[in-house]
Amino acid sequence: MTKNKILIVEDDHDLCQLLTQLLTMEGYDVSAAHDGLAGLTMAQQEIHDIVLLDVMLPHLNGFDLLKQLRQTSQIPVIMLTAKGDEIDRVIGLEFGADDYLPKPFNDRELLARIRAILRRTQAPTIKQQHIVLGDIEIHHGRQEAKCIGKVLDLTGTEFLLLVELIEHVGELLDKNALNLKVLGKRLQAFDRSLDMHMSNLRKKLPVRNDGLPRIKTVRGHGYIWLED
């Protein structure tokens, strides 16, 4: 069985070594870079399943690395942020991070986040392979979504959000259930991850011909994909 490959971009050599040992013991194939430029080169030129990305890096910080990476790749990224620094988490999600973990973090929580992302991005789907709804077209097999005939540049998380909305068109999707289904974790107080991913998805969807919104927010409850 092929091992999942993880790239760690972290300038703290001691922490990087500990993470490498932990993930290797869990059966992952681990690579590491200690500065942003080297990390970006490895992420672009080598094949990995997940990137663990520190924010504060020499030569190229984690935000700029992620921004450049998202121009060519939708590989899942978990940002490693300073504890309590919410602005770092928000910026990371805006730039296309799939999840974040504040330092110092629990080993079991990190492993759980990694497994959740791998399940979402690699699990074989039994869903309908091809869905067409209005001007939206979804191909599950190649993780591709189109709108008005053009391919949408979506992250894996954004793609899963779109699929859930489309498959439940006209229905209110509860935030708690959606968070667990798409992000693989229970919704916590003050956790804005789902809201940020939804905001990013909205920005990437072209305006409807009639000018009406595609996604309605029901404050305090969830989201609805509006019928044409």
Instruction: Write a three-state SS string for 116-164.
Output: HHHHHHHCCCCCCCEEEECCEEEECCCCEEEECCEECCCCHHHHHHHHH
Last residue of a domain, one of 84, 105, 122: 122
The overall average pLDDT reported for the chain is: 89
pTM recorded for the entire structure:
0.74
Q: Read off the CATH number of the domain in which 76 is found.
A: 3.40.50.2300
- 18 with 43, same domain: the answer is yes
- 183 with 149, same domain: the answer is yes
Range of the domain at 51: 5-122
Last residue of a domain, one of 78, 102, 122: 122
Percent of the chain whose pLDDT exceeds 90: 57
Q: Per residue in 129-147, pLDDT tens?
A: 788 888 999 988 778 899 9
- 16 with 117, same domain: the answer is yes
Residue 83 has pLDDT above 80, yes or no: no
Q: Read off the CATH number of the domain in which 160 is found.
A: 1.10.10.10
- 182 with 105, same domain: the answer is no
Question: How far apart, in whole angstroms, are the C-alpha atoms of residue 50 and residue 6?
Answer: 5
Q: Which of 6-15, 93-102, 121-130 has the lowest mean pLDDT?
A: 121-130
**Res 123: pLDDT:** 57
Mean pLDDT of 10-21: 96
